[in-house]
Structure 1
């Protein structure tokens, strides 16, 4: 954090996809902050967000194009900029905002490749200013419990970690319908999910990654795999396709009010299709990834991400010198073809996934019976992380108390962003070369 003062004040929003709504609502709910400008090339989506401001009792704001970003910062006297655009474009706004002395909050991942990460870190070093990365999963009460338990020494020194994350055939498939399906936009799921998975491990075990070896492939989605396994359809995008109506992997943009307004109704502006066929040719990211990661503490992690599972959730096992800690979270126990399609809220954590399950944290110390630790489970808002993160970063809402507990200590800066990103970047390089990759090869100016 560049100072202990909460973010906010006169705030500009960069990018108006569905994730931006959480920040807009959070800012408007705090009397000392306001949205004063929007930076967005798509006029229809920008108009949707001005309508949202009006519905929240806030005034509409001027809309600036990306090439007017610096003008916007100066003309609107912006104090904080919130960056929620396509991941590969984050650096185009982070760097000039830092240079202008504006406080920066960026969605994770911080950026998508080595050169852009270096550029951001070099700017931080040159200006002496810092940025905040929104690692909202740190604020999830279940994840806080894991952090506290390890930090208290309950399992001794963490020697190894096994981490399995399962994305189901609705949420997981969604990365293959939209701009994330090309690495030039997202860096692939290793980079995109670095903002959740790899940051959590870095934070949980208080360590930084050193070496990564990985294998990844497009095993389920895409044209070739879809034909091989019998799931393939031939349409380009779901909207207007009769074939897509019977495809359980298709998303109905017009069946969700938010998705219709910010994507279907906005297509004429930029030609972006939010509902592309997940079994189309040309998909450039992996859907099945395995990693071996060594940390500077000597701990080693085995990691596996599957984006086509019948259920959604994750299992993490920490093996320590004094025992073992096990976490299991079931975000969606199963999916049925007749279940409602993913809504805008569910995509970005505002609403719970269908058929939500529970969470368990088991502590098993050497020579003792295992103990189930009491957990506070919340569904939606990334396990309650989004709401709690907003209160820490932007200050409490009227009537709320300032958080001085665990959540208040969990803000992340550019180094945290780079360390999470580094695992994904090294994984992508290992996929490409079939070699172990050391963090020194990234030459990050940390």
Structure 2
């Protein structure tokens, strides 16, 4: 029996979900409506449905008609891919109106909104799924398998360095994410992936978090300190931006133009703001120390302006060490054809036993993004899920625990003190 879906928020991440539904899961899914603040963007999404996916146009509703949409369309599930700070609004109201929810990560951006979602789940009995596609990438699943099978014994410490390059990393400083009220900063919006992976790999939860860092590269003040003087607020229409390698040209990309530039007159959102302009209040350089319930510790760093994209991890255990290096292809979010998104240029998983020869671990990849992980996630969401020994499907509890590490990190940044995760939210388990 088909389930009916509506989708809220037709920006850059939305097509990952609705495109898969109408392309690969027509036997199990029926997409019936879009909801957004911007009619132009919904109309463009409908155009993609027709021309790219050979799917009939669906009804559209502005966000002030969200409840009307639920009443008229009677969906089983609401997909939430709106701006992060609004996730809780649609998640909670959808559940109150009798719908289950699939939400893009992060589930929300602060402790108060997290608690409101947890309370609504308990009150309504509805289900919330959070989409962590990194769990499904074969190399990440293999790490989980190696640790689960005790290859290096009990893991006592993890060192995890994530590098965002000057294409992908800079993109967070052009968009709405640059305002921490919208995104929770990179510790919530981006690092939620990474904190979830550590929870997933070690099968544990964070207990105490300490964070430090700040805005060290992007932003007007940093540029001025480096002696740069050619400032502009947004790239479109700027002569200065034409010589800026950090600028993005919306006019030259038909997809970006249709999704954002053409939609701009309706809501005023500028997708191409200068990464060295004013109004940026998120960090680009971050260090975090986490202690977990199983007594393992994590040292984590994130930098958003590096020459390469990917991550380096070391797991130190009672029987040895696992070293991982992954280099990923970078991309501009919603920049058009994303068929290469998440495909790996280079990856190495190396096991170093305490006594014995070191060896590399082969990982078998599949077709699709994140080494074949994305199709597995999408089938879990929209198809007929297969039995999964690694339990990669993420619940609202997984979603909450991952963002609570970042939320605790933000609180630590503000106070200079370590923060106990249990003090932030009552997960009611």
TM-score w.r.t. the length of structure 1 is 0.91
How far, CA to CA, are the matches of 1:232 and 1:391 in structure 2? 50
How far, CA to CA, are the matches of 1:35 and 1:181 in structure 2? 32
- Contact 1:137–1:196 (Cα < 8 Å) also in 2: yes
Aligned position for 1:417: 399
**Secondary structure class of the residue paired with 1:81:** strand
* 1:22 CA drift (Å): 1.2
CA-to-partner distance for each residue in 1:189-213, whole Å, 9 max, x for gaps? 0000233100000001001001001
- Contact 2:233–2:278 (Cα < 8 Å) also in 1: no
CA-to-partner distance for each residue in 1:31-62, whole Å, 9 max, x for gaps? 22121011111011000111111121211111
CA-to-partner distance for each residue in 1:38-97, whole Å, 9 max, x for gaps? 111101100011111112121111111112112111210111111000000001100011
How far, CA to CA, are the matches of 2:239 and 2:293 in structure 1? 54
Aligned position for 2:373: 385
Distance 1:343 1:13, change over 3 A: closer
* 1:393 CA drift (Å): 1.4
User: Within 5 A, what are the aligned runs for 1:292-331?
Assistant: 292-331=289-328
Give 1:279's match in structure 2, choosing from 246, 256, 276.
Answer: 276
Give 2:128's match in structure 1, choosing from 110, 127, 131.
Answer: 131
Aligned position for 1:434: 416
1:45 and 2:45 equivalent?
Answer: no
Distance 1:139 1:406, change over 3 A: farther
- Contact 1:50–1:60 (Cα < 8 Å) also in 2: yes
1:342 and 2:325 equivalent?
Answer: no
- Contact 1:223–1:232 (Cα < 8 Å) also in 2: no
- Contact 2:253–2:335 (Cα < 8 Å) also in 1: no
Structure 2 gap segments, 5+ residues each: none
* 1:388 CA drift (Å): 1.8
* 1:350 CA drift (Å): 4.1
* 1:406 CA drift (Å): 4.9
Tell me the C-alpha RMSD between the 2 structures. Answer: 2.0
Distance 1:232 1:145, change over 3 A: farther
**Secondary structure class of the residue paired with 1:142:** helix
Aligned position for 1:192: 189
CA-to-partner distance for each residue in 1:116-135, whole Å, 9 max, x for gaps? 00000011111222200001
Aligned position for 1:359: 347
- Contact 1:259–1:343 (Cα < 8 Å) also in 2: no
Distance 1:243 1:251, change over 3 A: same
**Secondary structure class of the residue paired with 2:141:** helix
How far, CA to CA, are the matches of 1:25 and 1:188 in structure 2? 28
Aligned position for 1:237: 234
* 1:229 CA drift (Å): 2.6
- Contact 1:233–1:279 (Cα < 8 Å) also in 2: no
TM-score w.r.t. the length of structure 2 is 0.95
- Contact 1:346–1:380 (Cα < 8 Å) also in 2: no
Structure 1 gap segments, 5+ residues each: 336-340, 397-401
Aligned length: 425
- Contact 2:256–2:336 (Cα < 8 Å) also in 1: no
Aligned position for 1:373: 361
**Secondary structure class of the residue paired with 2:177:** helix
How far, CA to CA, are the matches of 1:102 and 1:178 in structure 2? 30
Aligned position for 2:179: 182
Distance 1:44 1:307, change over 3 A: same
CA-to-partner distance for each residue in 1:350-393, whole Å, 9 max, x for gaps? 43479x63101011111011110002357972333322210121
1:404 and 2:387 equivalent?
Answer: yes
1:267 and 2:257 equivalent?
Answer: no
User: Within 5 A, what are the aligned runs for 1:78-157?
Assistant: 78-157=75-154
- Contact 1:351–1:379 (Cα < 8 Å) also in 2: no
Aligned position for 1:399: none
- Contact 1:236–1:276 (Cα < 8 Å) also in 2: yes
